[in-house]
Amino acid sequence: MTDLFDHMAAPATPASAKASQVRRRSRFAALSAREILLFAGAAATFVWGAWVTKSVAAQGAGQQEFVQLQLQGIIGDYLQAQARSNADEQTAARQTAVFMAALDETVSGLSKSGKVVLVHEAIVGGEVPDVTQSVKTAVYAKVPRPQPAQALGAAPQGQAARVEQEMQAFMAANQGRQRDGKP
């Protein structure tokens, strides 16, 4: 007895079946080559984005520090001392220019070290460290503080005596009255 199905030839496979076998051969884990490339690109982009975010966050938190500086006070103190000194105008201008250059160098050194320098008058509130004294110390280490001129009490004895005599003579002549004649 022969079976009808024994002699029957295997049916021809259609073209679409061959194409699906070819596609199955080029798939890995049920993904096509295009899908694998897209997945790898997305994963690489995600890893790169995480690294950039971490780098930016670490740089912003660890390297920058806000500090305040009373710049107007430092400059005002120096100018007052310079005005009280016995230096002539040209010498005072030259010394002030040297002072300002040293101050600028010191403040730029702070910013190069990662500190954000805020002028004291710009601070509205909050806790910001004050570096005024350390800047003043650093500048005066580079530039000497102007020395005040000799006071009248330290003037030669003859000059002080002459001023005192002139005042006594004026008081005696006016009998202690002011210019309008009132006591």
pLDDT in tens, 43-94: 999 888 888 888 777 665 555 688 888 888 888 888 888 888 888 888 888 9
Domain that holds residue 80: 64-149
Residues 78 and 120 both lie in one domain: yes
Two tokens, residue 61: 């938190």
Residues 138 and 173 both lie in one domain: no
Residues 104 and 165 both lie in one domain: no
- Mean pLDDT on 160-179: 64
Residues 95 and 140 both lie in one domain: yes
Q: Is residue 23 part of a domain?
A: no
Q: 177 or 112, which is more confident?
A: 112
Alpha-carbon separation of residue 63 from 57, 68, 115, 116, 160 (angstroms): 10, 16, 8, 10, 60
Q: Is residue 11 part of a domain?
A: no
Nearest to 96 by CA among 143, 150, 147: 143
* Number of domains, the chain: 3
DSSP state of 129: -
pLDDT in tens, 91-148: 888 999 999 999 999 989 888 888 888 887 776 667 778 888 888 899 989 988 888 7
